[in-house]
Protein backbone atom coordinates (compact mmCIF):
# COMPACT_ATOMS: atom_id res chain seq x y z
CA UNK A 1 0.00 0.00 0.00
CA UNK A 2 2.13 2.86 -1.28
CA UNK A 3 2.25 6.05 0.77
CA UNK A 4 0.75 4.49 3.89
CA UNK A 5 2.68 3.09 6.81
CA UNK A 6 0.85 0.49 8.90
CA UNK A 7 2.21 -0.12 12.38
CA UNK A 8 1.08 -2.55 15.05
CA UNK A 9 1.31 -1.20 18.57
CA UNK A 10 0.82 -2.69 21.99
CA UNK A 11 -1.64 -5.55 22.08
CA UNK A 12 -2.66 -5.75 18.48
CA UNK A 13 -3.73 -2.14 17.98
CA UNK A 14 -3.18 -1.22 14.33
CA UNK A 15 -2.28 2.39 13.72
CA UNK A 16 -2.47 3.69 10.16
CA UNK A 17 -0.27 6.69 9.48
CA UNK A 18 -0.67 8.52 6.22
CA UNK A 19 2.98 8.76 5.32
CA UNK A 20 2.38 10.98 2.32
CA UNK A 21 1.22 13.86 4.51
CA UNK A 22 4.12 13.52 6.89
CA UNK A 23 6.55 13.43 3.95
CA UNK A 24 5.08 16.68 2.65
CA UNK A 25 5.65 18.31 6.03
CA UNK A 26 9.24 17.23 5.80
CA UNK A 27 9.69 19.32 2.63
CA UNK A 28 8.90 22.55 4.45
CA UNK A 29 6.03 22.44 6.91
CA UNK A 30 3.32 24.49 5.18
CA UNK A 31 4.51 27.99 4.28
CA UNK A 32 6.91 28.70 7.12
CA UNK A 33 9.43 31.51 6.90
CA UNK A 34 12.92 30.26 5.94
CA UNK A 35 14.51 31.42 9.20
CA UNK A 36 11.83 29.58 11.15
CA UNK A 37 12.46 26.37 9.21
CA UNK A 38 16.24 26.62 9.63
CA UNK A 39 16.23 27.22 13.36
CA UNK A 40 13.27 25.02 14.26
CA UNK A 41 13.52 22.41 11.54
CA UNK A 42 12.06 19.02 12.41
CA UNK A 43 12.14 16.00 10.14
CA UNK A 44 8.55 14.93 10.80
CA UNK A 45 8.80 11.94 8.49
CA UNK A 46 11.63 10.34 10.43
CA UNK A 47 10.51 11.72 13.78
CA UNK A 48 7.01 10.31 13.34
CA UNK A 49 8.36 6.83 12.72
CA UNK A 50 10.73 7.15 15.66
CA UNK A 51 7.85 8.47 17.77
CA UNK A 52 5.81 5.31 17.26
CA UNK A 53 8.84 3.07 17.67
CA UNK A 54 9.78 4.79 20.92
CA UNK A 55 6.26 4.45 22.29
CA UNK A 56 6.34 0.73 21.63
CA UNK A 57 9.46 0.11 23.68
CA UNK A 58 9.16 2.78 26.39
CA UNK A 59 8.15 2.26 29.99
CA UNK A 60 4.73 3.61 30.96
CA UNK A 61 6.34 6.81 32.24
CA UNK A 62 8.36 7.09 29.04
CA UNK A 63 5.26 6.65 26.87
CA UNK A 64 3.56 9.61 28.54
CA UNK A 65 6.60 11.87 28.43
CA UNK A 66 7.66 11.04 24.85
CA UNK A 67 4.10 11.44 23.49
CA UNK A 68 3.59 14.79 25.22
CA UNK A 69 6.97 16.09 24.05
CA UNK A 70 6.29 15.17 20.42
CA UNK A 71 2.81 16.71 20.50
CA UNK A 72 4.31 19.84 22.05
CA UNK A 73 6.76 20.16 19.14
CA UNK A 74 4.03 19.67 16.54
CA UNK A 75 1.85 22.34 18.17
CA UNK A 76 4.83 24.71 18.26
CA UNK A 77 5.37 24.28 14.52
CA UNK A 78 1.68 24.54 13.69
CA UNK A 79 1.26 27.78 15.65
CA UNK A 80 4.44 29.21 14.15
CA UNK A 81 3.02 28.49 10.72
CA UNK A 82 -0.28 30.20 11.54
CA UNK A 83 0.97 33.41 13.15
CA UNK A 84 1.81 36.46 11.02
CA UNK A 85 5.06 36.09 9.11
CA UNK A 86 7.29 37.80 11.69
CA UNK A 87 10.04 35.46 12.84
CA UNK A 88 11.22 37.48 15.85
CA UNK A 89 7.71 37.75 17.29
CA UNK A 90 6.98 34.06 16.62
CA UNK A 91 10.21 32.98 18.30
CA UNK A 92 9.45 35.18 21.31
CA UNK A 93 5.91 33.87 21.72
CA UNK A 94 6.93 30.21 21.37
CA UNK A 95 10.07 30.38 23.52
CA UNK A 96 10.00 28.61 26.89
CA UNK A 97 9.38 31.95 28.59
CA UNK A 98 6.90 33.14 25.97
CA UNK A 99 3.13 33.43 26.15
CA UNK A 100 2.78 30.12 24.23
CA UNK A 101 5.83 28.38 25.62
CA UNK A 102 4.16 25.50 27.47
CA UNK A 103 2.11 22.54 26.30
CA UNK A 104 -0.93 23.77 28.20
CA UNK A 105 -0.81 27.22 26.61
CA UNK A 106 -0.21 25.83 23.14
CA UNK A 107 -3.20 23.50 23.43
CA UNK A 108 -5.43 26.36 24.61
CA UNK A 109 -4.18 28.75 21.95
CA UNK A 110 -4.48 26.27 19.09
CA UNK A 111 -8.07 25.55 20.09
CA UNK A 112 -8.93 29.25 20.52
CA UNK A 113 -7.56 29.94 17.02
CA UNK A 114 -9.71 27.20 15.52
CA UNK A 115 -6.79 24.89 14.72
CA UNK A 116 -8.26 21.85 16.46
CA UNK A 117 -11.67 20.40 17.26
CA UNK A 118 -13.32 20.40 20.67
CA UNK A 119 -12.72 16.65 21.04
CA UNK A 120 -9.05 17.01 20.13
CA UNK A 121 -8.73 19.83 22.63
CA UNK A 122 -10.29 17.70 25.35
CA UNK A 123 -8.08 14.69 24.62
CA UNK A 124 -4.90 16.76 24.41
CA UNK A 125 -5.76 18.35 27.75
CA UNK A 126 -6.15 14.87 29.24
CA UNK A 127 -2.84 13.75 27.70
CA UNK A 128 -1.21 16.77 29.35
CA UNK A 129 -2.72 15.83 32.72
CA UNK A 130 -1.53 12.24 32.35
CA UNK A 131 1.95 13.52 31.45
CA UNK A 132 1.95 15.63 34.61
CA UNK A 133 0.83 12.69 36.74
CA UNK A 134 3.74 10.58 35.51
CA UNK A 135 6.21 13.44 35.84
CA UNK A 136 5.40 13.95 39.52
CA UNK A 137 5.06 10.34 40.68
CA UNK A 138 7.83 9.19 43.03
CA UNK A 139 6.88 5.52 43.08
CA UNK A 140 7.14 3.28 39.98
CA UNK A 141 4.74 4.85 37.49
CA UNK A 142 2.13 2.77 35.70
CA UNK A 143 -1.01 3.26 33.63
CA UNK A 144 -2.64 0.93 36.15
CA UNK A 145 -2.53 3.59 38.86
CA UNK A 146 -6.15 4.46 39.62
CA UNK A 147 -6.11 8.17 38.81
CA UNK A 148 -4.14 7.64 35.57
CA UNK A 149 -6.34 4.75 34.52
CA UNK A 150 -9.39 6.95 35.13
CA UNK A 151 -8.00 9.75 32.96
CA UNK A 152 -7.27 7.31 30.13
CA UNK A 153 -10.89 6.14 30.20
CA UNK A 154 -11.99 9.76 29.64
CA UNK A 155 -10.17 9.91 26.28
CA UNK A 156 -12.68 10.04 23.41
CA UNK A 157 -10.51 9.20 20.38
CA UNK A 158 -10.27 5.41 21.03
CA UNK A 159 -14.07 5.11 21.16
CA UNK A 160 -14.31 6.89 17.80
CA UNK A 161 -12.11 4.22 16.20
CA UNK A 162 -13.68 1.28 18.00
CA UNK A 163 -11.03 0.72 20.67
CA UNK A 164 -12.79 0.39 24.00
CA UNK A 165 -11.69 -2.59 26.09
CA UNK A 166 -7.93 -2.31 25.62
CA UNK A 167 -5.46 -1.46 28.35
CA UNK A 168 -5.03 2.12 29.51
CA UNK A 169 -1.58 2.16 27.96
CA UNK A 170 -2.94 1.11 24.57
CA UNK A 171 -5.76 3.64 24.81
CA UNK A 172 -3.27 6.41 25.58
CA UNK A 173 -0.95 5.45 22.71
CA UNK A 174 -3.84 5.19 20.26
CA UNK A 175 -5.05 8.66 21.20
CA UNK A 176 -1.59 10.22 20.99
CA UNK A 177 -0.86 8.75 17.55
CA UNK A 178 -4.24 9.51 15.98
CA UNK A 179 -4.30 13.10 17.22
CA UNK A 180 -0.70 13.60 16.12
CA UNK A 181 -1.53 12.47 12.58
CA UNK A 182 -4.71 14.56 12.52
CA UNK A 183 -2.81 17.69 13.50
CA UNK A 184 -0.10 16.99 10.93
CA UNK A 185 -2.66 16.53 8.16
CA UNK A 186 -4.56 19.66 9.12
CA UNK A 187 -1.29 21.53 9.19
CA UNK A 188 -0.96 21.08 5.45
CA UNK A 189 -3.68 23.71 4.94
CA UNK A 190 -2.33 26.30 7.38
CA UNK A 191 -0.78 29.53 6.14
CA UNK A 192 0.55 32.65 7.83
CA UNK A 193 -2.09 35.20 8.77
CA UNK A 194 -1.98 38.58 7.06
CA UNK A 195 -0.83 41.58 9.06
CA UNK A 196 -3.72 44.02 9.60
CA UNK A 197 -3.80 47.04 7.28
CA UNK A 198 -3.08 50.39 8.85
CA UNK A 199 -5.83 53.00 8.67
CA UNK A 200 -4.85 56.43 7.43
CA UNK A 201 -6.19 59.06 9.80
CA UNK A 202 -6.95 61.50 6.96
CA UNK A 203 -9.18 58.94 5.23
CA UNK A 204 -11.03 58.21 8.45
CA UNK A 205 -11.72 61.90 8.99
CA UNK A 206 -13.07 62.29 5.43
CA UNK A 207 -15.32 59.28 5.93
Q: What is the pLDDT of residues 65-79, one digit of tens each?
A: 989 998 998 899 889
pLDDT digits (tens, 9 = 90+) for 117-139: 999 999 999 999 999 999 988 77
pLDDT digits (tens, 9 = 90+) for 68-117: 998 998 899 889 889 988 889 989 999 989 899 999 999 999 999 999 99
pLDDT digits (tens, 9 = 90+) for 23-50: 444 444 433 434 444 444 445 556 566 6
pLDDT score recorded for residue 152: 95
Question: Is the model more confident about 45 or about 7?
Answer: 45
The total domain count for the chain is: 1
Can you give the residue range of the structural domain that contains 107?
4-206
pLDDT score recorded for residue 183: 85
What is the average pLDDT across 149-168? 85
Q: b/e map of 78-105 (b: 16 or more CB within 10 Å)?
A: bbbbbbebebeebeebbeeeeebbebeb
Question: Is the model more confident about 154 or about 56?
Answer: 154
* Nearest of 177, 167, 174, 179 to residue 142 by alpha carbon: 167
User: 191: domain CATH number?
Assistant: 1.20.120.330
pLDDT score recorded for residue 45: 53
- pTM for the complete prediction? 0.75
* Nearest of 166, 184, 188 to residue 52 by alpha carbon: 184
Q: How many CA atoms lie within 13 A of 16 on its CB side?
A: 6
CA distance 78 to 80: 5
Amino acid sequence: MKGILVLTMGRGITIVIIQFAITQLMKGFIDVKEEWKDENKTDFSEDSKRFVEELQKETDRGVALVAAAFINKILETMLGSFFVDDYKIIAQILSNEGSAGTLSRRINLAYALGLMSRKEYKDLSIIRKIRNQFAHLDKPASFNITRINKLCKELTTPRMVGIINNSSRDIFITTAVFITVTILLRGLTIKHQMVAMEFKLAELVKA
